[in-house]
Chain A
Amino acid sequence: MADGHQHPIEHRFNPYAENGGTVLAIAGADFAVIAGDTRQTEGYSIQTRYAPKVFKLTDRAVLAVNGFQADCSEFVKRVMQRIEWYRHAHSKQMPLKAIARMIQTMLYGKRFFPYYTYNILGGIEEDGTGAVYSFDPVGSYEREACRAAGAASSLIQPFLDNQIYFKNQTPAPGAAPFVPGNLPIDVVLPIVIDSFTSATERHIEVGDGLEMFVVVAKGRDVSQLASLNAEEIPATNPGEERVFIVRRELKKD
Chain B
Amino acid sequence: MSIMDYNGGSVLAMKGKNCVAIASDLRLGNQAMTVAMNFEKVFPVTDCLYLGLAGLASDVITLRERFRYRVNMYTIKEERQIEPATFAQLVSSTLYEKRFGPYFVEPVIAGISKKTGEPFIAATDVIGCLNFAKDFVVCGTASDKLFGVAEGLWEPDLEPEDLFETISQTLMNAVDRDAFSGWGAIVHVITPEKVITRTLKARMD
Contacts and interface: CB of A to CB of B under 8 A. Distances in A.
A92 interface: no
B197 interface: no
A158 B169 contact: no
B144 A168 contact: no
Contacts of B169: 162, 168-169
B144 A154 contact: yes
Interface string A139-169: 0000000000000101111110111000111
Contact of B173 (A159, A195, A198, A199): A159
A161, A194, A199, A201 — most chain B CB neighbours (10 Å): A161
Contacts of A169: 169
A152 B145 CA distance: 9
Interface string A66-91: 00000000000000000000000000
Nearest to A153: B148
Contacts of B70: none
A194 B172 contact: no
B144 A162 contact: no
B179 interface: no
A12 interface: no
Interface string A212-238: 000000000000000000000000000
B173 A167 contact: yes
Contacts, number: 57
B151 A158 contact: no
Interface residues of B, number: 17
Per DSSP, chain A at the interface is helix
A111 to B, nearest CB: 26
Nearest to A152: B148
Interface of A: 152, 154-159, 161-163, 167-169, 194-195, 198-199, 201-202
21 contacts: A154-B144, A154-B145, A154-B148, A155-B147, A155-B149, A157-B148, A158-B174, A158-B176, A159-B173, A161-B173, A161-B176, A161-B177, A162-B149, A162-B173, A167-B173, A167-B176, A168-B176, A194-B152, A198-B151, A198-B152, A199-B151
